[in-house]
A and B are shown apart, each in its own frame.
Chain A
Amino acid sequence: MELKINGKIQNVGVEEGMPLLWVLRDELNMTGTKYGCGVASCGSCTVMLDGVATRTCTLPAVAAEGKEITTIEGISAGGEMSEIQQAWVEHQVPQCGYCQSGMIVAAEALLNEIPNPTDEEINTKITNICRCGTYNRIRAAIHTAAKMRTEKSELLG
């Protein structure tokens, strides 16, 4: 099958049922996207499909054919950190860091949909698990990133 990942076409020959997560991790060695639960509950495996946050551990890779797949490796493509990544560093969000790929991708999708989310909207949209409990800082970092993105777009007119 043909997958478009972070703007690049990748051809993979796997059985149809294989979830996108394992195609990324084991077939393409793109290990930034994590395995956490395997039942689409924890969100560690989140990528964007056409800009929408999607859990890939239960999603057959074939279902992603023809869509723009954006993984954590694609968030800072070109080497420059996104506003969300910058805010994550500013607030020193990650602890163990294992869930943070999924968190960051989910946050990117959130800000694409709602540029300036309220705490309530963050609570509803970010349902990923962080066992280190970095939620306070994630919330603060999303607000900071939203502000940075707004300022940037105002600057660009």
Chain B
Amino acid sequence: MGKWTRRAFIGTGGLIGVGLVVGIGANMLLTKNAKKYSGKGMGDGDSMNAWIRISSDNKITIAVPRAEMGQGVYTSIPMLVAEELEVDMKEIKIMQPQPEPAYANTLMVTGQSKDIYSSLTMMEKIAHFLPIVATGGSTSIADGFDQLRAAGASARVMLTREAANRWGISEADCYAENAQIINRKTKEKFTYGELAEAAGKIELAEIPKLKDKKDWKILGKNVQRLDIPSKVNGTAEFGLDVRVEGMLFAAIRHATYHDGVVSSVKNQAEIEKMPGVKKVLILPKGIGAVVVADNTWRAKNAMLALDLEETGDNTLSSEKINAHAEDVIANQLIATPLDKGNATAFLDKAENIIEGKYDVPYLAHACMEPINCTVLVKEGKAEIWAGHQGTSIMLDGVNASTGIDKENITVNMKYLGGGFGRRAEIDMILHAGFVATEMEGTPVQLVYTREEAMRHEMYRPMVKSHFRAAVNSKGEIEAWENKMALQSVGYSSLMRIKPAFAEPPAKDGSSVEGAANLPYTMANAKVAFGQMDLPIQVGNWRSVGSSQNAFFTESFMDELAHSVEQDPYEFRKSKIQHEPRFLKVLEKAAEISNWKIPLAEGRFRGIAIHESFRSIVCQVVEITKVDEKKFSVDKYYNVIDCGQVVNPDTVEAQMQSGIMYGLSAALYGEITFKDGEVEQYNFPQYEVVRMNVAPTVQVHIMDNDEFPGGVGEPATPPAAPALANAIFAATGERIRSLPLVKHGYSFV
């Protein structure tokens, strides 16, 4: 998910007033008075601070206010706390706190990592006042890296001080180990549980010094994930697995057309007589209809039988969208985020220019777990159960759809069967809240069938990118021009999730992330874009703008290299000499892939490097030609510089994952429109990488002391351009449009 850095924050700053938020932030790490700011926080009972609870029988619970969607955050956040708290990971239980300011994802909102040692910036104060407790933008580790270690360290010092007081010795004569404070001289011990209640009342004057990296015992080591045992025996509870006494199941049928409105159900009486059906409802604003029944399958059958009275544009087509995009590039550019020198004038008079017109289609997230949400409205209170990327978004959605005050809403976070940005949306919560209000007293689980989920999504936008460039005889890029047409993801998604934060499309940095911030030396460079005006909803799709921009820019870089007959690796290398981190990643990728040693006959390779979400990833992919236009994608070499690493095994897993996600899109992914409807509606029409096609992935993680970057998204962007560049090496055909199957390629 993209950064939610929005000027709107500053615009509303004056209304908030500094006084209201003085005292939050750093103080939450120093005293349990944090609870004053965090209301329900970890729930009833004493805690050391907003993140740590230690019971008298020495049970240690860590609050993890992030969504576990496979990235391992239910393990990596406790690791940060445990390292400084001096407890073994085996002793830790985790809980998901209610959404409150203490747990806001500041990095996602401000784009800046938290400085826990200084007072809050205005942006941070606003982020606390309007907290977005959410998971996205590959931010969890970077947002929590200092804060959560400091939470652990603060609690440890409070416990130490209490023990020292009881023994009547100095704190220096005590140390913490395995959830105990030990007296250095007498070897007497107190368990944390014996000290916690009194220690929790101690106030610290400053944040304790954090450990040096060389002293880490947990961080930087491969730690087994806490959620995995429940994910191999079927007991892990996803949103769709929620079962509450007396619950009913509902199936949604969206208006057929994307601007459509449902006014009535023509065969309502007939539907109501179908087996198990309890209620038929029209959603607010005619977005769709819902059938409530006593079983998901019965609800689905009745939903499919609905005969809707509806309006909408039945002429929207991919051809029309394509023509509109061409027009936007030619006539309706609205922003020029990069304008260095005078690229256009240079190119207009240059003799040898290289042109490339690229495009990518709309993409569905296709999370493995179909979209769902369970809500109960009863006696002025509401409760929600879902796997979702934001507990504060769950809270906002239930509040908006039921009218129930936030204090009377309980949020229950479940495991997410894939998130990828789709589960940061609010639609499923609003719809479930509406249905639960109509069915007051009965919990209702609203389910989108796979078909509904795929045909009515918040898609990765269709994007066009038209390049012109000039390269001189020495291989230097003299001018680079990139004009793009797309729908702003930031604008579209924020207008749904948090309209107060939405800025106009021209200011959406996510549109050009990975396009306007290239590391390469270029004398003149211009990147401009225009906004497409369509009724299609677009949203954050794993790696957002970089998902298309890496394909465009890294493929076009390859074109430029070949235009001057240079090796694609050497061509890139000569242009990042001033970027040491890029250079090291690129060189390491060449080294581990033996780039300089030619491959056997029939085998080919491609390379791409891209920075996204504060991490740099370089990939080299090797492919084998099996037959005319038939290839095996054998292996990806993946090098990442994500700064300091919390759990290396998880980083490796995320690299594998990001590649498979990007590769699925590169090979097969395409959402198209015909007669106003999406043509793909399930996996047979929207194919993804399966075992037989999946390449092996070899991961190298750079070892350095830089601040942590993201890992959930950065492996996705280079996967497609590396492959397209390998296809060019094999066939001489430059792929400027995805997916590859559209060009007649097949993969085994």
A contacts, CB < 8 Å to B: 14-15, 18-19, 22, 25-27, 29, 31-39, 41-42, 44, 71-73, 75-76, 81, 85, 88-89, 92-101, 104, 122-124, 126-139
A100 contacts B657, CB within 8 Å?
A: no
A88 contacts B232, CB within 8 Å?
A: yes
B233 contacts A98, CB within 8 Å?
A: no
A51→B417 CA distance, assembly (Å): 27
B237 contacts A92, CB within 8 Å?
A: no
Interface stretch of the complex, out of B145-153, B494-502, B608-616, B687-695: B687-695
Cβ of B370 within 8 Å of any chain A Cβ, yes or no, is: yes
Q: CB-CB < 8 A to B234: which residues of A?
A: 31-33, 71-73, 75, 101
CB distance from B420 to the nearest CB of A (A): 8
Supply 17 further A-B pairs (C-beta < 8 A) apart from A98-B238, A129-B368: A31-B243, A34-B240, A36-B368, A38-B682, A41-B684, A75-B233, A85-B233, A89-B224, A95-B653, A96-B70, A96-B368, A96-B417, A97-B238, A98-B368, A99-B368, A127-B690, A139-B691
Please encode chain B, from 360 to 385, with 1 for each CB lying within 8 Å of some chain A CB and 0 for all others: 00000011111000000000000000
Cβ of B176 within 8 Å of any chain A Cβ, yes or no, is: no
Q: CB-CB < 8 A to A89: which residues of B?
A: 224, 228-229, 232
Cβ of B630 within 8 Å of any chain A Cβ, yes or no, is: no
Cβ of B117 within 8 Å of any chain A Cβ, yes or no, is: no
Cβ of B262 within 8 Å of any chain A Cβ, yes or no, is: no
CB distance from A134 to the nearest CB of B (A): 7
The residue that A92 contacts in the complex, of B653, B691, B696, with Cβ under 8 A, is: B653
Cβ of B231 within 8 Å of any chain A Cβ, yes or no, is: yes
B656 contacts A32, CB within 8 Å?
A: no
CB distance from A128 to the nearest CB of B (A): 7
Q: CB-CB < 8 A to B51: which residues of A?
A: none
Interface centre among A39, A88, A98, A135 (most CB of B within 10 A): A98
With both beta carbons as reference points, the residue of chain B lying nearest to A21 in the complex is identified as B297
B657 contacts A95, CB within 8 Å?
A: yes
Q: CB-CB < 8 A to B664: which residues of A?
A: 131, 133
Please encode chain B, from 240 to 261, with 1 for each CB lying within 8 Å of some chain A CB and 0 for all others: 1101000001000000000000
| 3 closest cross-chain pairs (CB), A and B | A32-B234, A133-B660, A95-B70
A22 contacts B683, CB within 8 Å?
A: no
21 A-B residue pairs with CB within 8 Å? A19-B297, A27-B295, A31-B243, A32-B234, A34-B238, A37-B450, A38-B450, A41-B684, A42-B368, A81-B232, A85-B233, A94-B70, A94-B231, A96-B69, A97-B236, A100-B232, A122-B691, A129-B688, A130-B368, A132-B418, A133-B656
CB distance from A129 to the nearest CB of B (A): 6
CB distance from A109 to the nearest CB of B (A): 14
Q: CB-CB < 8 A to A139: which residues of B?
A: 691
With both beta carbons as reference points, the residue of chain A lying nearest to B684 in the complex is identified as A41
State the main secondary structure of chain B at its contact with A.
loop
With both beta carbons as reference points, the residue of chain B lying nearest to A135 in the complex is identified as B694
B656 contacts A137, CB within 8 Å?
A: yes
Please encode chain B, from 423 to 439, with 1 for each CB lying within 8 Å of some chain A CB and 0 for all others: 00000000000000000
Cβ of B272 within 8 Å of any chain A Cβ, yes or no, is: no
A5→B522 CA distance, assembly (Å): 66
Q: CB-CB < 8 A to A135: which residues of B?
A: 656, 660, 689-691, 694
A133 contacts B661, CB within 8 Å?
A: yes
Interface centre among A39, A89, A122, A136 (most CB of B within 10 A): A136
A41 contacts B682, CB within 8 Å?
A: yes
Cβ of B105 within 8 Å of any chain A Cβ, yes or no, is: no
A34→B229 CA distance, assembly (Å): 17
B368 contacts A131, CB within 8 Å?
A: yes
Q: CB-CB < 8 A to A88: which residues of B?
A: 228, 232
Q: CB-CB < 8 A to B657: which residues of A?
A: 95, 132-134
Q: CB-CB < 8 A to B416: which residues of A?
A: 96
A73 contacts B296, CB within 8 Å?
A: no
Q: CB-CB < 8 A to B548: which residues of A?
A: none
Cβ of B275 within 8 Å of any chain A Cβ, yes or no, is: yes
Cβ of B649 within 8 Å of any chain A Cβ, yes or no, is: yes
CB distance from B622 to the nearest CB of A (A): 15
A136→B449 CA distance, assembly (Å): 29
A37→B681 CA distance, assembly (Å): 10
B228 contacts A92, CB within 8 Å?
A: yes
B contacts, CB < 8 Å to A: 69-72, 224-225, 227-238, 240-241, 243, 249, 275, 295-297, 300, 366-370, 415-420, 449-451, 649, 653, 656-661, 663-664, 682-684, 688-692, 694, 696-697
Q: CB-CB < 8 A to A26: which residues of B?
A: 249, 295-297
A89→B228 CA distance, assembly (Å): 7
Q: CB-CB < 8 A to B70: which residues of A?
A: 94-97, 132
A32→B415 CA distance, assembly (Å): 13
A97→B661 CA distance, assembly (Å): 15
A15 contacts B241, CB within 8 Å?
A: no
A131 contacts B225, CB within 8 Å?
A: no
B225 contacts A92, CB within 8 Å?
A: yes
Q: CB-CB < 8 A to A33: which residues of B?
A: 234
Contact A34/B694 with A26-B296, A26-B297, A100-B232 known, Cβ cut-off 8 Å:
no
A131→B541 CA distance, assembly (Å): 13
A100→B660 CA distance, assembly (Å): 16
B369 contacts A96, CB within 8 Å?
A: yes
Q: CB-CB < 8 A to A37: which residues of B?
A: 450, 682-683
With both beta carbons as reference points, the residue of chain A lying nearest to B694 in the complex is identified as A135
Q: CB-CB < 8 A to B232: which residues of A?
A: 81, 85, 88-89, 93-94, 100, 104
A126 contacts B368, CB within 8 Å?
A: no
Q: CB-CB < 8 A to B690: which residues of A?
A: 127-129, 135
Q: CB-CB < 8 A to A76: which residues of B?
A: 233
Q: CB-CB < 8 A to A134: which residues of B?
A: 653, 656-657
CB distance from B414 to the nearest CB of A (A): 11
A42→B193 CA distance, assembly (Å): 47
CB distance from B76 to the nearest CB of A (A): 13
Q: CB-CB < 8 A to B694: which residues of A?
A: 133, 135-136
CB distance from A16 to the nearest CB of B (A): 12
A38 contacts B449, CB within 8 Å?
A: yes
CB distance from B401 to the nearest CB of A (A): 24
With both beta carbons as reference points, the residue of chain B lying nearest to A142 in the complex is identified as B691
A85→B658 CA distance, assembly (Å): 24
Q: CB-CB < 8 A to A44: which residues of B?
A: 368
A93→B702 CA distance, assembly (Å): 23
A15 contacts B653, CB within 8 Å?
A: no
A25→B37 CA distance, assembly (Å): 41
CB distance from B365 to the nearest CB of A (A): 8
Q: CB-CB < 8 A to B661: which residues of A?
A: 131-133
CB distance from B299 to the nearest CB of A (A): 10
B224 contacts A92, CB within 8 Å?
A: yes
B418 contacts A94, CB within 8 Å?
A: no
Q: CB-CB < 8 A to A99: which residues of B?
A: 368, 417
Q: CB-CB < 8 A to B369: which residues of A?
A: 34, 36, 96, 98
A39 contacts B684, CB within 8 Å?
A: yes
The residue that B691 contacts in the complex, of A41, A42, A123, with Cβ under 8 A, is: A123
A127 contacts B692, CB within 8 Å?
A: yes
Q: CB-CB < 8 A to A126: which residues of B?
A: 691
A127→B684 CA distance, assembly (Å): 12
With both beta carbons as reference points, the residue of chain B lying nearest to A26 in the complex is identified as B295
CB distance from B306 to the nearest CB of A (A): 17
B370 contacts A32, CB within 8 Å?
A: no
